[in-house]
Structure 1
Amino acid sequence: MEIKIGIQNVSQVLMLNSDLSADEVRARVTEALSSGSPLVLEDTKGGTAMVPAASIGYVETGKETRRKVGFAPVA
């Protein structure tokens, strides 16, 4: 799933792909905002993004896409 994080006072958007579901991302963002702890998300390549909760402007999640396995032609 593609996740976009807008950070206050930063013009660029932080984008990452993660294996987390939308509900899991929502839970992590809610926890970070309520506790004041940093939002920590892992991407599909093993990297980690860490954003201070006070700096989060918005978090946008894309549609969950499942990888297709097989050798059939894509229409």
Structure 2
Amino acid sequence: MEVKIGVQNAARELSVDTDAAPDAVLAQLETALKDETVFNLTDEKGRTVAVPAEKVAYLYFTADSGRKVGFGLGAD
């Protein structure tokens, strides 16, 4: 699943591919907000993104639909 993280005062959002469920990611953010700490999210390759929790503007979850390769996909 891809998680897009909007950060306050940043022009671009962060994109992280993770195996974590949306509920688990939201729980991590809620805990970080409550404790006034950093929100950490680790991707499928073991890389970690860290954002001060109070600076997270939004989270957007997208399901993996697989990568489409080639021309004429969907043409019968």
TM-score by shorter chain over 0.5: yes
Q: 2:62, 2:22 → 1: CA distance? A: 8
Q: Compare CA radii of gyration and give the structure with the larger one.
A: 2
Task: Structure 1: state its 5+ residue gaps.
Answer: 68-74
Task: Structure 2: state its 5+ residue gaps.
Answer: 67-73
What RMSD over aligned residues (CA atoms) do the two structures have, in Å? 1.8
Q: 2:26, 2:54 → 1: CA distance? A: 16
The Cα of 1:66 is off from its aligned counterpart by 8.9
Structure 1 stretches (4+) deviating beyond 2 angstroms? none
Q: Which amino acid aligns with 1:26?
A: L
Q: 2:53, 2:4 → 1: CA distance? A: 15
Number of aligned positions between the proteins: 67
Q: 1:61, 1:35 → 2: CA distance? A: 23
| In the alignment, structure 1 residue 7 sits paired with structure 2 residue 7 | yes
TM-score (norm 2): 0.79
Q: Which amino acid aligns with 1:22?
A: P
The Cα of 1:9 is off from its aligned counterpart by 0.3
Q: Secondary structure at the match of 2:9?
A: coil
Q: 2:18, 2:6 → 1: CA distance? A: 16
| In the alignment, structure 1 residue 38 sits paired with structure 2 residue 38 | yes
TM-score (norm 1): 0.80
Percent identity for Structure 1 against Structure 2: 34
